[in-house]
Amino acid sequence: MKKLLMMLLALCLCAGMVAGCGGGDKKAAAPQKALKVGTEPTFAPFEFQKKDSKDFDGFDMDLIRAIGQKMNAKVEIQNMGFDALIPALNAGNIDIAIAGMSITPERQKAIDFSEPYYKSGLVVVVNKDNTTTKSIADLKGKKIAVQIGTTGADKAGKVEGAKVTAFNTNAEVFLELKNKGVDAVIIDSPVAAYYLVQGGKDSAKIVGDVMEAESYGIAFKKGSKLTAEANKALADLHKSGEYDKLYQKWFGNAAKAK
C-alpha cells in the first residue's frame, strides 16, 4: 500500500514537472514562423556562395533576412535553378523567391511581386580582344550564352540568327565566354559590372549601352498574404535607412553611377 502511495506521489510529481515545463514554454516568445526562401546563387552581388561555403551572401540575401526579421520570421534559404523558382512558388515548395528577378508582365501572370526594390538593365559582355562587337546590333548570327529562363535569354532570343546557349548557372555562362565557346553574354548590368571588378576585366568587357529598364521584385505565389507583409517590411526598411545601408554596402556610390 505504502509502495503504491509512493508511486502515485512520484507520478504526480512528474506530471507536475511536465506541466511546469509546459508553463515555462508558454511564457517564452511564440515560436517564429519559418519562411522558405528560394534563390539561385550565381548572381553576385545579389546572391552568391563564397568559395567553400554553403552560406548565402549578397544584397538580396541581406535584404530578405532584414525583411524576415521585420516579419518576425525565420528565413530559411535554399538553392535552386532560376527556372525552378516560379514552379516552386506555385507548388508551395517555397514561400518566397528572391533572385534578382525582374518584374515582367509575363511573370506577373504566374506570380505576385513585391514593390520593386532595385533598378536594373541588361548588357552585352564580350571578350576583351573582341574588336568587332560594339553593341547588340553586332551580334546577328553570333553565339550568345545566357542563363536559362532569364530576361537576358529572352533578349538574346530576339537577336536575328543568333545561336543562343542557355546554361543553368551564370558561372557557366561567364566560363563559356572565357573559353571562347560563345561570342557574347547577355546578362544584368550590375552582375556584369561586379564580375568585371572581381577579376573578369582581365578577359572580358561590357560593350554598348544598358538595355531595357528592369526592376527586381521579390516573388510570391499568386494571392499570397506574404506579399503585403513583405511590402510593409520593405517600406519600413526604406524609412529607417536600413535599405540605404545595405545598398551602400553592396553597391556604393560608384556602382550607383553605372
What part of residues 207-236 is at the interface with ligand GLN (CB under 6 A)? 214
CB of 243 to ligand GLN, least distance (A): 19
The reply to whether 147 sits near ligand GLN by the rule CB under 6 A is yes
CB of 147 to ligand GLN, least distance (A): 5
The reply to whether 101 sits near ligand GLN by the rule CB under 6 A is yes
Identity of the residue, 114 or 151, whose beta carbon is nearer to ligand GLN in the bound complex: 151
Identity of the residue, 95 or 188, whose beta carbon is nearer to ligand GLN in the bound complex: 188
Stretch that binds ligand GLN, among 20-28, 67-75, 99-107, 228-236 (CB under 6 A): 99-107
CB of 82 to ligand GLN, least distance (A): 5
Alpha carbon distance 234, 70 (integer Å):
9
Alpha carbon distance 250, 45 (integer Å):
7
The reply to whether 151 sits near ligand GLN by the rule CB under 6 A is yes
CB of 132 to ligand GLN, least distance (A): 26
Stretch that binds ligand GLN, among 145-153, 174-182, 217-225, 239-247 (CB under 6 A): 145-153
How many other β-carbons are positioned within 10 Å of the β-carbon of residue 120? 20
Identity of the residue, 46 or 247, whose beta carbon is nearer to ligand GLN in the bound complex: 46
CB of 128 to ligand GLN, least distance (A): 23
Total chain residues near ligand GLN (CB under 6 A): 12
CB of 150 to ligand GLN, least distance (A): 3
Q: Which residues bind ligand GLN (CB under 6 A)?
A: 40, 43, 82, 99-102, 147, 150-151, 188, 214
